Amino acid sequence: MKEKLLNHILFLLEGEMNISYNEFRNHLCKAGEMIFIPQDSIASAEAFTDIKYLLLSFNNQIILHEDLGWNELREFDGERDIFHKLDIRQPLHDVIDSVVFYQENKVECTHLDEVKEKEIFLMLKVFYAKQEVARFLKPLLRQDMDFKAYVIKHYTSARNVEELARLCDLSVRAFTRKFKAHFDDSPYRWILRQKAHQIKILLADKKISMQAIIKEYGFSSPAHFTTYCKKQFGLTPSMYRNTLNGKHESMIHAETAGQAVDYLKGLR
């Protein structure tokens, strides 16, 4: 199974340390500051004193909570890449202290973790300026803005909507909602159209064998592929290929002649 990618916010509660990740090297962080470390980062830390910290790890689904209003932050997403810290202000500090309390008393509850995660992000929204939060979470906002490009690049690697959602590190429900917002269509219908379009391109190339297309797109048999093409294009694979290459009438089989003639009339 694909390893889950996580973003991190490090809340430094006591002490001092240097933080490095990716191109940002040796940034001094002091107690009362928080640092956002995006997924896929190569990070390291060097402590100068005894330290106490809380590390919040989360996936990209937090961006989908409409009640947190992340969409409005993108208008501030025009600054250059910087290593940006934020002070931990008192209302947020109170929430963090409650999380530490639960951890120190070994209170384990998945639902409680989810509630506290949302509460931390709510504190960011309420007690920090939008521009501050946009700068702080810029890599996360960029990940979301790159969603459409990522789907277009990787959808051929997935056999169905569930696999594509996993590739995007989202639940099927969250992926479907986000997909609809970006593509104005359901993932299932969109993937079917892309598949049909790609098969059309392959059928147009006579150098590519039917068997290769069948194997590439996971059809169980030539009969299965023929049934698919009849449903999608109104013609068998061979008929459609020859239609694209200008050999219309000679390839029309008797059992589908009426359907094929109607289709060909539409091409002229």
Same domain? 113 vs 153: no
26: left (phi over 0), alpha (psi -120 to 50) or beta: left
Tokens 């093409």, located at residue: 229
Into how many domains does the chain fold?
A: 3
User: With 80 as the cut, is the pLDDT of residue 266 above it?
Assistant: no
259 inside domain: yes
What residue numbers bound the domain in which 100 lies? 7-144
Same domain? 197 vs 174: no
1 inside domain: no
pLDDT digits (tens, 9 = 90+) for 32-62: 999 999 876 778 899 999 999 999 998 766 6
Same domain? 102 vs 209: no
2 inside domain: no
Same domain? 22 vs 130: yes
Over the chain, what is the mean pLDDT? 80
Q: Is 10 exposed, middle or buried (0-12, 13-18, 19+ CB in 10 A)?
A: buried
Q: Closest Cα partner for 49 from 12, 8, 86, 21?
A: 12
SS3 annotation, the chain:
CCCCCCEEEEEEEECEEEEEECCEEEEEEECCEEEEECCCCCEEEEECCCCEEEEEEECHHHHHCHHHCHHHHHHHCCCCCCCCEEECCHHHHHHHHHHHHHHHCCCCCHHHHHHHHHHHHHHHHHHCCHHHHHHHCHHHHHHHHCHHHHHHHHHHHCCCHHHHHHHCCCCHHHHHHHHHHHHCCCHHHHHHHHHHHHHHHHHHCCCCCHHHHHHHCCCCCHHHHHHHHHHHHCCCHHHHHHHHCCCCHHHCCHHHHHHHHHHHHHHC
Phi–psi pair at 145, nearest 5 degrees: -65, -25
47 inside domain: yes
pLDDT digits (tens, 9 = 90+) for 199-245: 988 898 888 999 999 998 889 999 999 999 999 999 999 998 988 76
User: With 60 as the cut, is the pLDDT of residue 145 above it?
Assistant: no
pLDDT at position 234 is 92
Which band of pLDDT confidence, cut at 50, 70 and 90, is reported for residue 146? low
Same domain? 125 vs 215: no
In the chain, what percentage of residues exceed pLDDT 90? Answer: 39
247 inside domain: yes
CATH number of the domain that residue 38 is part of? 2.60.120
Same domain? 21 vs 138: yes
88 inside domain: yes
Which band of pLDDT confidence, cut at 50, 70 and 90, is reported for residue 5? low
Same domain? 38 vs 133: yes
User: With 70 as the cut, is the pLDDT of residue 170 above it?
Assistant: yes
